[in-house]
Structure 1
Amino acid sequence: MKKTIKSLFVFMFVVVFAAACGNNEKKDDEEALQILEVKLEVAEQADAGDAVPFKALVTFGDEKVSDANDVQYEVWEEGNKDNSEMIEAKNEGDGVYTAEKVFEHDGVYVVQVHVTARDQHNMPKTAITIGEGASHDGGHDHGDHEHGADGFSMHFMEPKDPKAGEDTELMVHLQNGDAPLEKAQVRFEIWSNNQEDKREWVNATESKPGEYIANHPFSEAETYQLQIHVENDDGLHEHETHEIEVK
């Protein structure tokens, strides 16, 4: 009788445990299928001197994400991304993140929001025309792209307080349209301002869809140039340069 009760107890425990594991696996599968969505709202046109509001609604499945890890707006005049400006977003709650900018002169500008949340990254962008837009002598049409690939976006995560002799994490997010750019070949080309002829190449690994990471120990405390090279089997070849101050 005791053996029967013991066997029944063990059987019930196994059933309950299996059911719990099944529910957890189902929950994990459901979360894996969910995508970080970002709806960016920026006026199509405004006047120079006006404060232009930016708004992004961040959702993950049916959830409005109010605890994103990082949300920043990047703004640049078309054709001049090297001089872009980063603006920290304000968390308004209920999945809404806002910022604003005063554009000082006419032109066509790109506004891109970078959102990191739920172990995913999304960075939609749009264009805004200020005043009369770009001039005809060297300006860009409203539909021009900053990169050769249609819809391609790159966002380098600036390392915080890199120190000489210590491994520094180098991370870049790549996106093609609204989806992460997967299976790309990403390399970091690194050189110091004092030795421009001596260059190091570091291969990055795709840690998750669209996220590429490498670690590199900068040998000296000085200023370095870092150029990101991105290629894939479809003929994509893009690059972007950043400056890193190592202490």
Structure 2
Amino acid sequence: MFRKSPWISVAVLILLVTLTGCGPQPEEAQQKPADSSPEMSGVPLTIVASADPAAASPGGNVTVTAEVKQGDRPVAADVEFEIRRSGEPARRLKGSSTETGRYSAVVQGVQPGEHTVIVHVNAPGIHQMETARFTVKGEAQAGHHHHGTELQLDLPDTVTAGQTATLAAKVLHDGKPLSGAETKFEIRTGSGRHHWIPAREGKPGEYSAEFSFPTAGAWSVVLHVEKGSIHDHVERQIQVK
């Protein structure tokens, strides 16, 4: 009877071990690339806001610009410029981009006074803001009047997390109380959490709502007003202790 050589068994065993080692590795053992998206990295954005010219002439145009990065990497984001001037409703302009991470908009027909530019940047899981300013010196151009919608937010000076706070607002149109408007408060954090609170009207043009801020930190309170062709909003920051 033929007897199997022990050397043959050893050779077969070595061959099996070799084939096993060269086979596909389990998914857990394969190295995965790091997720560098803003939502996953947890690294805050760097926003550099500017206005050109910083000192403009009445009736001229000003270009507002924002450069958005995360670390050294330019970030693709949704950017909006909010332009504020004392005594006038805020204007919002959509930022356009010619290259990733750089956004701009043109403010046309600027009038004398101090202007504040609030840059709103929305990237995946992130909402951040930055501020710039520009000044217009001189006399207002003829025919420029302060008509339109005026939104006045009245927020408490001190807010404690977990306690109910009253949010109030006065809405004027052409200098008169705007009654019967659809009014609501948008409350949000930098992490992207949103709360929508309908407001009730007391006296004509005066609206209010109550809200309990769940956590301490910086919150944004945005008042939205709609009636017919009127659609306006104003935003303020509030610090919750």
Calculate the TM-score normalised by the size of structure 2.
Answer: 0.53
Find the structure with the greater CA-based Rg.
2
8 Å contact 1:226–1:243 — kept in the other structure? no
8 Å contact 1:36–1:117 — kept in the other structure? no
With over 3 angstroms needed to count, the CA separation of the structure-2 counterparts of 1:45 and 1:194, relative to structure 1, is closer
8 Å contact 2:55–2:135 — kept in the other structure? yes
Secondary structure in 1 matching 2:25: helix
8 Å contact 1:227–1:239 — kept in the other structure? no
Verify: 1:112 aligned to 2:140, yes or no: no
Correspondence for 1:178: none
The code of the aligned residue for 2:74 comes to K
8 Å contact 1:75–1:110 — kept in the other structure? yes
> In the TM superposition, what is the alpha-carbon distance from 1:93 to its structure 2 partner?
1.1
The two structures, once aligned, show a CA RMSD in angstroms of 5.1
Correspondence for 2:44: 35
Secondary structure in 2 matching 1:13: coil
The code of the aligned residue for 1:213 comes to H
8 Å contact 1:186–1:204 — kept in the other structure? no
Calculate the TM-score normalised by the size of structure 1.
Answer: 0.52
Verify: 1:18 aligned to 2:29, yes or no: yes
**Unmatched runs of 5 consecutive residues or more in structure 2:** 1-12, 141-152, 169-178, 199-206, 229-241
Verify: 1:95 aligned to 2:108, yes or no: no
1:50 to 60, 63, 75: 60
Return the alpha-carbon distance in structure 2 between the equivalents of residues 59 and 235 of structure 1: 23
Instruction: Show the 5 A alignment for 1:26-175.
Output: 26-27=34-35, 31-42=40-51, 43-65=53-75, 67-68=76-77, 70-78=78-86, 80=88, 83-132=89-138
Secondary structure in 2 matching 1:211: coil
Secondary structure in 2 matching 1:39: strand
**Unmatched runs of 5 consecutive residues or more in structure 1:** 135-145, 150-182, 218-224
Secondary structure in 2 matching 1:59: strand
> In the TM superposition, what is the alpha-carbon distance from 1:227 to its structure 2 partner?
5.8
> In the TM superposition, what is the alpha-carbon distance from 1:211 to its structure 2 partner?
2.4
Return the alpha-carbon distance in structure 2 between the equivalents of residues 17 and 226 of structure 1: 54
With over 3 angstroms needed to count, the CA separation of the structure-2 counterparts of 1:114 and 1:120, relative to structure 1, is same
Query: How many equivalent residue pairs?
Result: 182
Return the alpha-carbon distance in structure 2 between the equivalents of residues 215 and 234 of structure 1: 18
With over 3 angstroms needed to count, the CA separation of the structure-2 counterparts of 1:123 and 1:189, relative to structure 1, is same
With over 3 angstroms needed to count, the CA separation of the structure-2 counterparts of 1:186 and 1:110, relative to structure 1, is farther
With over 3 angstroms needed to count, the CA separation of the structure-2 counterparts of 1:210 and 1:62, relative to structure 1, is same
1:89-122 per-residue CA deviation (whole Å, 9 max, x = no partner) reads: 1211142111111344211111111111233122
The code of the aligned residue for 1:73 comes to F
Return the alpha-carbon distance in structure 2 between the equivalents of residues 204 and 240 of structure 1: 6
Correspondence for 1:8: 21
